[in-house]
Amino acid sequence: MTKQKALSDRPIQPAVNDYSDFLAELNLISIRLGSASIRFLPELYAAKSLPPVSYSLTAELGEVSAKGFEAIQDFAIKGRETTRSPILMSIKCRFVARYETQMQITPEFFAVFKETTLVLNVWPYIREFVQSCVVRAGLPPLTLPSQIFLPKSKS
């Protein structure tokens, strides 16, 4: 395990071997839906197709214990015709992933973890949730990509 270092304005990246050791000892215990909100405006039902969508992902470290930790992944998707038109559809959801580990998760490890392992673990649940909400609302299917491509962090 690495020694915890003071954080500066620029995140410290853990050593590759240390992070690999952390992942090798990590066990995913569960993923659950923590909360959700869904909104479809009536105008959406008159359209023949769904509007263009944009989405965002954010993550935070939840409860930490001697046996592991929770990681929280928030997702929001909005659909509208143009950036100036009203939002016709909005889906927000929060998934909570519980991990078991004997190693301490440091801020440096979590900074890497939330951009890689967490999103890879939770993304299939987000895809299914969004697709299910849209179809159950009687709208044309909306299938998110099978792989998530995140913008690179600015250094």
CATH number at residue 77: 3.10.420.10
Residue 100 lies in domain = 27-136
The string of pLDDT tens digits covering residues 23-68 is: 899 999 999 999 999 999 998 888 888 999 999 999 999 999 999 9
Contacts with 138 (C-beta within 8 Å, 6 or more apart), sequence order: 45
> Helix and strand tally (H, E) in the chain?
4, 4
The model's pTM is: 0.83
Report the pLDDT value the prediction gives residue 14, as an integer from 0 to 100: 67
With respect to residue 39, please indicate whether it lies within any of the assigned structural domains: yes
CA distance 94 to 73: 6
Of 68, 67, 57, which Cα lies nearest the Cα of 120? Answer: 57
124, 143 Cβ separation under 8 angstroms = no
Report the pLDDT value the prediction gives residue 7, as an integer from 0 to 100: 38
With respect to residue 146, please indicate whether it lies within any of the assigned structural domains: no
With respect to residue 22, please indicate whether it lies within any of the assigned structural domains: no
Which residues of the chain are modeled with pLDDT < 50?
1-10, 151-155
Of 100, 104, 97, 99, which Cα lies nearest the Cα of 18? Answer: 104
